[in-house]
Structure 1
Amino acid sequence: MAGPAILTLCVLIAGCTASTTPVNKKIGQQGSSNGDASPIGGTFTYALAGSPTGLDPNVVPAALDYRVMRSIYDSLVVQLPDKSIQPWLAAEWTVSPDGKSYTFKLRQDVKFHDGTPFNAAAVKANFDRVVNPATKSRFAVTLLGPYESSEVVDEYTVRINLKSPYSAFLSSLSQAFLGIVSPAAADKHKDQLTKNPVGTGPFKFVSWSENNAITLERNPDYKWAPVLADNKGAPYLDKLIFKIIPEEATRIGSVQSGQVSAGETVPPQNLISLKNDPSVKLLQAESAGIPFTLMLNQDHAPWNELPARQAVQAAIDFEAIVKTLYLGTYAKAWSPLTPSVLGYNSALEGAVKYDPEKANKLLDEIGWTRGSGGIREKNGKKLSIHYIDTSPNREKRNDIAAMIQQQLKKVGIAVEVEILADTTTALMVKGTNDLVGISNVSGDPDILRSFFHTNAIPGSGKWGHNHTHKSDPQVDAWLEEGLREQDPKKREEVYKKVQTYLIENAYGFPVYVFPYTVAAGKSVNGLKFDSLGYPIFYDVTLSE
C-alpha cells in the first residue's frame, strides 16, 4: 500500500522517517507483552492451528507456512503499520521516472544460513526463479506482477525491470513470499527446498517432524533486523519451535498448562474466558487483505445470472452467522478488502441486508419454483449448491457452511456441503465447486487482482484464485488501472469502484474480518506482529 507514495524519481528511501511501532494490540487487562522482568533465552514453543505444507516462499502460498517462513527469510524492504516502506536487506533504492525500473543498493554484511553471500546475483536468481514456470510458483509470481528482468549492476546493486508500472511493487517485496532464498540451497534441493529452507533470517531451520513440530534455532550472526524490531542483533531465543496442534481446546489448554509458550487462533469462547485469566496474555492484530469471502462459480448455471446470485446474497444472514459463531469477537465484513487496506470502501457497510423475501421474489422471477421438499426446480433440475470447504474446521468455517445450508433451504436452495482435507484438485483442476470461501493476507489492494481478474481464473494449468470463474472486462480494466496508478488518492478511488461493483454484482459475499489472536504464557515478553498481522519473534524473551 505504501508503494505509490514513494514512486518518484530517484527517491532515496534510507532516510525516510516513520513510526516504527509494530501492530501489538493487547486485549483485556493483561498488561504489556514486553514486561519488566529480566529477559532470558531458552526455547519458545508456538502452537500452530494446522500443519504447514512447505517452507519454500517462492512456491507455497499458505498463511500457516508464512508464519514459519517469516523467521527464516528476510525481504528487501519492510512495510510498517503506517503503510510506509523502510529498508531491510536493501539499504536504499531509487525508482526510474517511468516507474518501471527499481535500483536497489543492498547491505554488504549479510550471509545466508549456509554461509553463502547475499548479493545482487542472489536477488536476481530469486526473482528469475519465481517467474520460471518450472518453479510452479502459486502466489509469489503474482506478487512480482509485471516483472521483466533483473540486472546485476555490481556486486551489491541490482536493477529490477518491470514491463509496466506496478504501484504495489514495494509492498509486495516486503512479504515473506518474496523473501530471499539461498540460490545455492535452491540449486541443491530443488523442489525439496520446501523441507530444507535456507534464508538470511533471525532463525535457522533445524528439523521438521511431520504433523508434529518444526524446529528453528538462533542465527548467531544476525544483525540486520528491520525497524519493526527493537532488537537489531541475533534473537534472544535459543530455539523457536512451531508445534502443530489443530485441536482448539488442546492448543489453548497447552498454553494454560505451560506446555507451550504461546498458541495462535484463540477461539471466540476462549477469547472471552481468557480475558480475566492472570496466567495468560492475549494479543491481537487484524489480518489485513481479503476477509473471509464466499464466491459463486459462474461457470455453473444459474449462478451466471445476476438475480440468482443476488438471491443467495439476500438469503444468507451474515450478521447472524458472525454473531452466533464468534460471539462478538469477530467483525462483520462488508467489502472484499479489510478496513486497514488502502482504498477500503466504508460506504459499503450496511449496504447488503438479510432479506429472504427479496431472495424468494428473485428466484420466482427467473422461473425457479418450489418442488418436493420445498426445494426449487426448473426444467426438471433442482436448485442446488455444491459448497466445498476444508478440514480441520479453521475459524469455524465448517460451521458457517452448516448455517448457510439451513438458511438457503428456507428459500428453496439445496446445499450439499463437502469437507475435504485438500481442496486443490476440486478448485484448481476440476472446478467442481459452486460455492467456496477464500481469504488472503496482503498489504495492498492489488490483492483483488489475484481473486477477481480474468488472468486469475484457475484451470488449464493455471493456479489463480478467481473462483467466480468470471471474466469481466470492466473489473479487469479497473484492476489494471489500479496497478499502474502512482497517486495513492487516485488508487483509492479506483479500488473503491471495484469493491462497489463486486458487491453490487454479487461476485463475492464478505463474511468476517479475522482478528489474529494469540494466547501467551505470563513469562512471554516481546511478542509482536508485523503490518499484515503475522507474529514476529525478534524481541521475544522468557522471564523467570
Structure 2
Amino acid sequence: MLLVLAGCQTQRGEPGAPPEGQAASANGVDPVQPAGGELTFALATSPDSLDPHRSGLAVAVRVIRTIHDSLVVQDDNGQIKPWLAESWDISDDGLTYTFKLREDVKFHDGTPFNAEAVKYNFDRIVNPETKARNAVALLRPYESSEVVDEHTIRVHLFEPSSAFLGNLSQALLGIVSPTAAEKYGEDLVRHPVGTGPFKFVSWSENASITVERNEDYHWAPETVQNAGVPYLDRITFHIIPEEATRIGSVQSGQVLAAETVPPQNIASLEQDPGIQIFKTDTNGLPYTLFINQSREPWNELKARKALLYGVNVDAIIKSLYLGTYERAWSPLAPGMLGYNKALENSFSYDPGKAAALLDELGWKAGGDGIREKDGKKLTLHYVEVSPNREKRNDIAAMIQQQLKQIGIDVKVEITKDYRTVVFENGDYDLYGNSQVNSDPEALRSFYHSSSTSVAGKQSLSGLKDPAVDRLLDEGNVETDTAKRIKIYEQVQQEIMDRAAIIPIYVFPYTVAASRSVSGLSFDYLGYPIFNDVVLQEK
C-alpha cells in the first residue's frame, strides 16, 4: 500500500528526515534534541471517546494513537513486529501466547507498565461493565491471562485465531493505565492515560483536543525512525466538520494540516505551491449500507435484491466523489486478505429488475407512485449520522430519489444520537457504516449470527445464516494462508448472494498540509503517525 505525496509515490511508513543539525540514531534521531513547535491538525468530526476500549470511531483513533501504545505493531507489509512486547511464543495448539514485555516503560501518570497492567487491560475489555465497543471484537477469542513474572504474561484463548496477533497491534487494543482507569472509571473517555509519545492535556467539547510531548518516551516501534521523544512540543486537533472551513483553514494557515480533503478541492490544492496532499488507502470494511433483515419486508431476499438493483452506486461515486473514491463491490476493501475480485461488476443498477422483484412480492404502485400491499405503503427508514462525514448525508438524499423511482418511500433520519437509534433501539431499515481493520476476521462482527451489536440482539445486517457462520468460524482458525483466502472469498460471495448489504465506496484517507510539515507517515491501516513530524521553515 502506497502513500502519494504531492504527486510523488513513497512508501506509506517512510518517516521524514531529522531536522537540520540533528544526527540520526540507529532507529531515528537523537531523542534528547526535540525540535519543538505545535502541529495544528483539523479533524472532520469529533471523537466519541479517547478511551481506546470504549471507542468505535476511526476519527478517535487519530488521537488515541498519539496517547496509547500497543503490544505489537504491523509494518508496511503486514508483518508483526515488537513494540511494548519484546518477543512472544505461541503454543503448538494456538491457544496460548506468552509475551515478554519491555522493562523500561511507564505510563504518563508514573504507573509501571508490566504484566499486571496488560492483564488488567484485557480483563477490563471483556468485562461487560466496561461497555467496551470495537475492542471486544478485536480481542476475541481471549479467555484469560496469567502473570508469569513482572514482565511476562501468558494469554489463553478459547479457540485458535489467525487474526489475534494482528489485532493486538490496533490502537483500540492500546494499553491504558490501570491506575487511571480505576481513578476515572467511565470518565477515562475524557482523561486518557497511556504510554504513548504524547500525553493528554485537554479536550474542549466539539472544538479541540490537545496533547503534549512525552519527555520520557524512548520505546517507539521500528516502523518509525525516531525511537525517542517526539520532535513536536504538542499537537492540537481542531474539530472542523464543515468541509469548506476545514480546507480554508489550511489554505489560510490557521491550521497546518487537515484531514478528509473533499474531492472537489483535491485538484486545486495539488496546484497550490504552499500545500501538499497526502493520500493513502484504508484497509478493512468499505462504506457499506446494511439492510436490516429483522424488519419487514427486508427479511425477504427479493426485497433486499430490489434495493441492490435499485441503487445507482456508479452515479453516486461519479457525482459526489468525482472519481477520487473507488467503488466498493464486496464486504471487504480491495487491500484485504481474501478480497474477492470476482465480485467486481457482478451486479449493476437495474431499476426494471428491481421493480419486477417488488411486483413478485405483491407490492403494487399506488396512485402517488409509492407501492402498497395490504393497505400499507412501502417505506424504508434510512438512518444517517450528523455531521455529513464523507458526504454520507448526500448519499442518503440521492438514494431517497433513486428508490422513489421504483416505488419505495425512503424516510431519511439524520441524527447525532445514532447509538440510541441504531445500536440500542435497532430502529432502522438501512444504515451505513465502515470499519478500518487489518484482518478479514472483522467480518464476524457484521455477519455472524452470534454478533449482537444492535439492541443486544443482532449484527448490523441481522444476517443469521449457518453457511456464513461456518465459513467465518473456519476462516478464523485456519492457519494456511491460501486456504484462508479461499474461505473468505466464499464468505463474501455468500453475503452478496443474500443481498445483505449495498457496498458503496472504499475510503481514501487524505490530508492537506502546509509545506512546512515534514515527516508525516501512516501506519498499516492508514492512520497518521506523528513521531517523525518536524515543522520547518516554508
What residue number does 1:19 align with?
A: none
Q: Which runs of 5+ in 1 are unaligned?
A: 1-21
Match runs of 1:60-209 below 5 Å: 60-209=55-204
SS of residue in 2 equivalent to 1:233 = coil
* TM-score for the superposition, normalised by structure 2: 0.94
TM-score, normalisation: structure 1: 0.93
> Equivalent of 1:311, from 287, 301, 306?
306
Counterpart contact for 1:30–1:281, Cα < 8 Å: no
Deviations 1:59-117 (A, max 9, x none): 12211111100010000000122111111000110100000000001111111111111
Counterpart pick for 1:444 among 422, 439, 442: 439
Are 1:476 and 2:436 matched, yes or no? no
Deviation of the 1:409 alpha carbon = 0.9
Select 2:401's aligned residue among 403, 406, 422.
406
Q: Which of 219, 228, 237 is 1:224 aligned to?
A: 219
CA shift digits 1:128-165 (9 cap, x unpaired): 11111111111111111111111111111101000010
Question: What code does the residue aligned with 2:294 have?
Answer: D
User: Quick one: distance in 1 between partners of 2:86 and 2:336?
Assistant: 26
**Match in the other structure for 1:353:** 348
Helix, strand or coil for the counterpart of 1:395? helix
Q: Which residue of 2 aligns with 1:434?
A: 429
**Superimposed CA distance per residue, residues 36-69 of structure 1 (whole angstroms, 9 cap, x where no aligned partner):** 9738420011110111121111112211111100
**For residues 488 and 455 of structure 1, what CA distance do their matches in structure 2 show?**
25
Secondary structure of 1:438's aligned partner: strand
Contact 2:88 2:100 in 1 (8 A): yes
Distance in 2 (alpha carbons) for counterparts of 1:153 and 1:23? 41
Q: Identify unmatched segments of 5+ residues in structure 2.
A: 23-34
Q: Is 2:273 aligned against 1:273?
A: no
Aligned to 2:43: 48
**Where does residue 4 of structure 2 map in the other structure?**
25
Corresponding residue for residue 517 of structure 1: 510
CA distance in 1, matches of 2:306, 2:72: 45
Match of 1:18 in 2: none
Residue 25 of structure 1, CA deviation:
2.4
Q: Secondary structure of 2:89's match?
A: strand
Indicate yes or no: 2:471 matched with 1:491: no
Measure the CA separation in 1 of the matches of 2:9 and 2:147: 50
- Structure 2 contact 15–532 (Cα < 8 Å) conserved: no
Indicate whether 1:210 and 2:189 are aligned.
no
Percent of counterpart pairs with the same letter? 58
Equivalent AA in structure 2 for residue 380 of structure 1: G
Q: Does 1:291 align with 2:270?
A: no
Q: Which is further off, 425-434 or 328-337?
A: 425-434
Q: How does 1:226-245 map to 2 (within 5 A)?
A: 226-245=221-240
- Distance 1:55-1:205 versus aligned 2 partners, 3 A rule: same
TM-fit CA distance, 1:459: 4.5
Distance change >3 Å, CA 24–CA 146, structure 1 → 2: same
* Distance of 2:4 and 2:479 partners within structure 1: 32
Residue identity opposite 1:111 in structure 2: K
CA distance in 1, matches of 2:299, 2:150: 54
Contact 2:72/2:169, CA 8 A, preserved across alignment? yes
Q: Which amino acid aligns with 2:378?
A: L
Matched residue of 1:539: which SS?
A: coil
Secondary structure of the residue that 2:230 maps to in structure 1?
A: coil
Note if contact 2:425-2:455 (Cα within 8 Å) is conserved in structure 1. Answer: no
- 1:520 corresponds to which letter in structure 2? A
Contact 2:520 2:530 in 1 (8 A): yes
Query: Against the structure 1 CA distance between its residues 459 and 440, is the aligned structure 2 distance closer, same or farther, given a 3 Å change threshold?
Result: closer
Q: Which letter does structure 1 place at the counterpart of 2:5?
A: K
CA distance in 2, matches of 1:233, 1:422: 40
Distance, in Å, in 2 between the alignment partners of 1:359 and 1:176 is 42
Residue deviations 1:240-268 (CA, integer Å, cap 9, x gap): 11111111111111111111110000000
What residue is the counterpart of 1:374 in the other structure?
369
Structure 2: distance between partners of 1:101 and 1:54: 31
Q: Which amino acid aligns with 1:28?
A: G
Q: Is the 8 A contact 1:23 1:531 kept in 2?
A: no
Which letter does structure 2 place at the counterpart of 1:61? Answer: G
**What is the CA-CA distance between 1:30 and the residue it aligns to?**
10
Q: Tell whether the 8 Å contact from 1:130 to 1:140 is kept in structure 2 after alignment.
A: yes
CA contact (8 A) 2:2 2:9 kept: no
Partner of 2:54, secondary structure, is coil
Q: Structure 2 CA distance, aligned partners of 1:63 and 1:163? A: 28
- Matched with 1:320 is 315
Amino acid at match of 1:235: P
**1:172-200 Cα distance to aligned partner (Å, 9 max, x none):** 10001100111111111111111111100
Aligned residues: 521
